[in-house]
């Protein structure tokens, strides 16, 4: 019966083309793929949430009616984001520059080349080094290794830079400054880098330990991996650095502290913003930083914001950070979230189905911590019940934490992402400028604010330059009309901005 449905689906597509017209069909329906077919349901895949929402709102009811007429019986249509289509769509945007999203292609290509070279060059020389401070000297657990770090579009530059630092500590990317909000993987990356330096293990592939964006990394010359010299590395949080420095001052042995910290080949400091109110410790860290960098040793730092936003840190420190490589880590996109869930499910031996993992990845768009928490909750439920969880059971189990994270999108984020996409100053969108490009970008921002924030017409109008609610409504109608009838450029623009909103 499933094969018959697939044949009938082809017939249904012809009917949909007749019903919707070539333009709508080619722009929206042709983007879908058939994922699963059963006697009662046809599950379709969309390349992203924007297409999914648009098809559901504008075409789904008529599509279902066409399918029922062609098949001759009740059949349900369901549509979800397809991870493979999602990845292909993002890859198309990056390669061909669709949606006018500003990407420096030479920089991106060079970053990928460096990432690959670093993976190839990571060697396996044994290293036995004595740790100086017992409370933080333990090598991180395997869960926080470079091998288990899931690389994707949201963190690829940071991951590639870390691998380059692993290959050439104290070289071009010194210091390396990694910033991003809580739960994006900064600590995982930094501890993984520390672990790789300490153990000298060969890096087999980027991404999750059992799967990645590519296949197994091939060594450049087909031979053995190049040996890497043992490196004496140190990982601390900024708070631990403060505690060690304070203890040395109380013991009247600051010279011992300096001798120890300035002897490391690699110093990795997590959450540097924790030094915000500790002026003396900032000065001590500045001197330690200079001593290491000037002698060719590597410094890696993380924070919850870019250097320029850490206004409570000493200006000299901020200047030092800006003198190195600054990379941002964003919240994981759908494909990365799914890979995180798949990798963790394998490691804990979970029997959750792929459809349940896809549901979690699609619905929870926050931090990696939230994803793992949801996975653990579902896994416990499955083990306790002794039977596999279906989609409805998964929804019930997660009902208390089930918040569609698109509701977390703020109007400020819409303004920022629209301005970033079009290469404008965010203030332009709330100004009185009547420039054609500025007006179009403002209309797109109002449209997306209505779709993503849940704010009223009046609230959105007030935000975008004290405009009336009728102006917002007209902007929404204008953009919807253009999405229906204009060139595909606006469709690509809105899709790209929608993905920015989800990934930020």
CA angle 213, 214, 220 (to 5 degrees): 140
CA-CA distance, 2 to 8, in Å (whole number)? 10
> What pLDDT, on a 0 to 100 scale, did the predictor assign at position 257?
92
User: Is 13 a residue whose pLDDT tops 80?
Assistant: yes
Average pLDDT over residues 15-19: 88
> Which CATH superfamily, name and number, covers 409-503?
DnaA protein, C-terminal DNA-binding domain (1.10.1750.10)
pLDDT digits (tens, 9 = 90+) for 199-251: 775 554 444 333 333 333 333 333 333 445 568 899 999 999 999 999 999 88
Range with the poorest average pLDDT among 8-17, 36-45, 229-238, 244-253:
36-45
> What pLDDT, on a 0 to 100 scale, did the predictor assign at position 488?
58
Assign residue 170 a region (left: φ > 0; alpha: ψ between -120 and 50; beta: otherwise): left
Architecture of the domain delimited by 105-328: 3-Layer(aba) Sandwich (3.40)
CA-CA distance, 82 to 101, in Å (whole number)? 22
User: Is 283 a residue whose pLDDT tops 90?
Assistant: yes
> What pLDDT, on a 0 to 100 scale, did the predictor assign at position 102?
39
The pairing of beta strand 33-37 with beta strand 176-179: unpaired
Average pLDDT over residues 302-311: 88
Does CATH number 1.10.8.60 belong to domain 334-403? yes
pLDDT digits (tens, 9 = 90+) for 182-204: 788 899 999 989 988 887 755 54
Q: Choose from 136-150, 221-235, 381-395 the range with maximum mean pLDDT.
A: 381-395
pLDDT digits (tens, 9 = 90+) for 68-118: 888 877 777 888 888 777 766 665 555 444 444 333 444 444 444 444 443
For residue 122, give the nearest of 200, 190, 176, 188 by alpha carbon: 200
pLDDT digits (tens, 9 = 90+) for 328-361: 998 888 888 899 899 888 888 888 888 889 888 8
**How many Cβ atoms sit within 10 Å of the Cβ of residue 95?**
11
To which residue do tokens 């404008």 refer?
424
**How many Cβ atoms sit within 10 Å of the Cβ of residue 76?**
12
Domain residues of the chain, as ranges?
2-81, 105-328, 334-403, 409-503
CA 275 vs CA 132, 133, 174, 241, 313: distances in Å: 22, 20, 20, 9, 7
> What pLDDT, on a 0 to 100 scale, did the predictor assign at position 91?
58
For residues 45 and 489, the answer to whether their CB atoms sit within 8 Å is no
CA-CA distance, 116 to 395, in Å (whole number)? 40
pLDDT band at 44 (very low <50, low <70, confident <90, very high): confident
| Radius of gyration for the alpha carbons in the chain, expressed in angstroms and rounded | 26
> What pLDDT, on a 0 to 100 scale, did the predictor assign at position 182?
79
| DSSP state at residue 236 | E
pLDDT band at 279 (very low <50, low <70, confident <90, very high): very high
What percent of the chain has pLDDT above 70?
Answer: 77
Structure tokens at 203: 């890096």
Average pLDDT over residues 286-302: 94
For residues 25 and 64, the answer to whether their CB atoms sit within 8 Å is no
> What residues contact residue 468 under an 8 Å CB cut-off, 6+ apart?
461
From the number of C-beta atoms within 10 Å of its C-beta (0-12, 13-18, 19+), residue 465 rates as: middle
On the question of a common fold for 334-403 and 409-503, the answer reads: no
> What pLDDT, on a 0 to 100 scale, did the predictor assign at position 237?
92
> What pLDDT, on a 0 to 100 scale, did the predictor assign at position 205?
43
Architecture of the domain delimited by 2-81: 2-Layer Sandwich (3.30)
pLDDT digits (tens, 9 = 90+) for 403-441: 444 456 789 999 999 999 999 999 999 998 889 899 999
> What pLDDT, on a 0 to 100 scale, did the predictor assign at position 401?
57
Structure tokens at 93: 């945007």
Helices 315-322, 279-294: crossing angle, 10 deg rounding? 30
Give the mean pLDDT of the chain: 77
What percent of the chain has pLDDT above 90?
Answer: 24
> What pLDDT, on a 0 to 100 scale, did the predictor assign at position 39?
67
- Which one is predicted more confidently, 402 or 323? 323
């Amino acid at each position: 019966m499933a094969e018959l449905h697939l044949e009938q689906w082809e017939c249904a597509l012809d009917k949909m083309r007749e019903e919707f017209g070539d333009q709508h069909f080619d722009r929206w329906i042709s983007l879908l793929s058939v994922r699963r077919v059963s006697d009662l349901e046809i599950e379709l895949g969309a390349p992203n949430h924007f297409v999914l929402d648009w098809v559901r709102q504008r075409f789904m009811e008529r599509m279902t009616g066409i399918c029922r007429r062609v098949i001759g019986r009740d059949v349900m249509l369901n549509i979800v984001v397809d991870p493979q289509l999602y990845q292909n769509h993002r890859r198309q945007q990056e390669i061909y520059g669709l949606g006018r999203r500003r990407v420096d292609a030479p920089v991106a290509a060079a970053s990928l080349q460096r990432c690959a070279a670093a993976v190839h060059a990571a060697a396996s020389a044994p290293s036995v080094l004595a740790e100086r401070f017992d409370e933080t000297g333990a090598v991180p657990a395997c869960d926080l290794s470079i091998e288990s770090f899931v690389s994707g579009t949201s963190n690829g530059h940071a991951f590639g830079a870390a691998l380059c630092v692993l290959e050439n500590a104290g070289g071009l990317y010194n210091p390396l400054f990694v910033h991003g909000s809580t739960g994006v993987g900064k600590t995982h990356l930094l501890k993984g880098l520390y672990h790789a330096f300490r153990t000298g293990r060969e890096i087999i592939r980027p991404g999750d330990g059992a799967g990645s964006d590519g296949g197994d990394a091939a060594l450049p010359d087909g031979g053995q991996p190049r040996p890497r010299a043992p490196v004496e590395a140190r990982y601390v949080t900024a708070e631990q650095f403060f505690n060690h420095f304070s203890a040395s001052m109380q013991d009247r042995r600051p010279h011992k502290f300096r001798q120890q910290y300035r002897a490391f080949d690699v110093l990795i400091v997590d959450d540097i913003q924790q030094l915000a109110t500790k002026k003396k410790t900032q000065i001590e860290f500045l001197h330690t930083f200079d001593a290491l960098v000037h002698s060719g040793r590597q410094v890696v730092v993380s924070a919850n914001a870019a250097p320029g936003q850490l206004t409570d840190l000493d200006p000299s420190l901020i200047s030092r950070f800006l003198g190195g490589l600054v990379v941002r880590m964003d919240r994981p996109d759908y494909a990365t979230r799914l890979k995180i869930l798949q990798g963790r499910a394998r490691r804990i031996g979970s029997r959750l189905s792929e459809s349940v993992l896809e549901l979690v990845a699609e619905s929870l768009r926050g931090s990696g911590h939230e994803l793992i928490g949801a996975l653990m909750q579902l896994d416990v439920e499955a083990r306790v019940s002794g039977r596999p969880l279906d989609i409805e059971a998964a929804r019930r189990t997660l009902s208390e934490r089930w918040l569609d994270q698109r509701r977390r999108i703020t109007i400020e984020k819409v303004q920022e992402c629209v301005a970033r996409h079009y290469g404008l100053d965010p203030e332009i969108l709330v100004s009185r400028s009547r420039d054609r490009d500025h007006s179009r970008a403002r209309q797109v921002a109002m449209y997306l604010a209505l779709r993503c924030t849940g704010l009223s017409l009046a609230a959105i109008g007030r935000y975008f330059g004290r405009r009336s609610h009728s102006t917002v409504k007209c902007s929404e109608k204008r953009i919807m009309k253009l999405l229906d009838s204009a060139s595909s450029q606006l469709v690509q623009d809105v899709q790209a901005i929608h993905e920015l909103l989800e990934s930020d």
